[in-house]
Amino acid sequence: MKVALLFNEKPASMEAGLPDDTFEEYDDPATVCHIAGALRRLGVTVEPVPADRRLPSRLEEGSFDFVFNIAEGPIGLAGRARRCREAIPAAICEMLGVPYTGSDALTLGLTLDKALARRAVSPEVPVAPGALLEDEPWDDLLSGLRFPVIVKPNDEGSSKGIHFDSLAIHSSAATAVARRLRDSYRCPLLVEEFLPGAEVTVGLAGNPPNVRLLGMMEIAPASDGGPFVYSVEMKRDFRHRVAYHIPSRLDAPILAAIERYARAAYRLLGCRDIARMDFRLNASGQPCFMECNPLPGLNPETGDIVILTAGAIPYDQLVQGILLDAIERTGRAVS
pLDDT at 11 (0 to 100): 87
Q: Which fold has domain 130-193?
A: Dna Ligase; domain 1 (3.30.1490)
Looking at residue 245, what is its pLDDT? 96
| Strand-strand pairing, 45-50 and 66-69 | unpaired
Q: Mind listing the pLDDT tens digit for each residue in 23-60? A: 888 999 999 999 999 999 999 999 999 999 999 999 99
213 vs 246: CA distance, rounded Å: 14
The pLDDT value given to residue 248: 95
Q: Where are the alpha helices (DSSP H) in 41-170?
A: 55-62, 87-96, 105-112, 114-121, 139-143
* CATH classification number, 111-125+196-330, choose in 3.40.50.1110, 3.40.50.300, 3.40.50.2300, 3.30.470.20: 3.30.470.20
Domain ranges of the chain: 2-102, 111-125+196-330, 130-193
Say whether pLDDT at 16 is over 90: no
Q: Are 273 and 247 in contact (CB under 8 A)?
A: no
Q: pLDDT tens-digit profile of 56-81? A: 999 999 999 999 999 999 876 555 55
Count of Cβ atoms closer than 10 Å to residue 222 Cβ: 15
pLDDT in tens, 312-330: 999 999 999 999 999 999 9
pLDDT tens for 110-148 read: 999 999 999 999 999 999 999 999 999 999 999 999 999
**Which residue type sits at 302?**
T
Order of strands, sheet of 287-293, starting from the edge strand that comes earlier in the sequence: 242-245, 210-221, 199-207, 273-281, 287-293
Q: Which segments of 164-225 are extended strands (E)?
A: 167-168, 189-193, 199-207, 210-221
161 Rama sector, left if φ>0, alpha if ψ -120 to 50, beta otherwise: left
Contacts of 94 (CB under 8 A, 6+ apart): 104, 105
pLDDT digits (tens, 9 = 90+) for 250-297: 999 999 999 999 999 999 999 999 999 999 999 999 999 999 999 999
pLDDT of residue 75: 79
Alpha carbons 39 and 284: distance in angstroms, whole number: 44
For residues 305 and 277, what is the distance between their CA atoms, to the nearest angstrom? Answer: 10
> Which residues does residue 150 pair with via DSSP β-bridges, in sequence order?
167, 192
| Domain 2-102, classified CATH 3.20.20.60, yes or no | no
Q: Which residue in 92, 2, 11, 7 sits closest to 51, CA to CA?
A: 7
**CB–CB of 138/175 below 8 Å?**
yes
What is the distance between the alpha carbons of residues 24 and 27, in angstroms, rounded to a whole number?
Answer: 8
Condensed to tens digits (0 to 9), the pLDDT of residues 178-197 reads 999 999 888 999 999 999 99
Residues 168, 117, 198, 277, CA torsion sign: negative
47: helix, strand or coil: strand
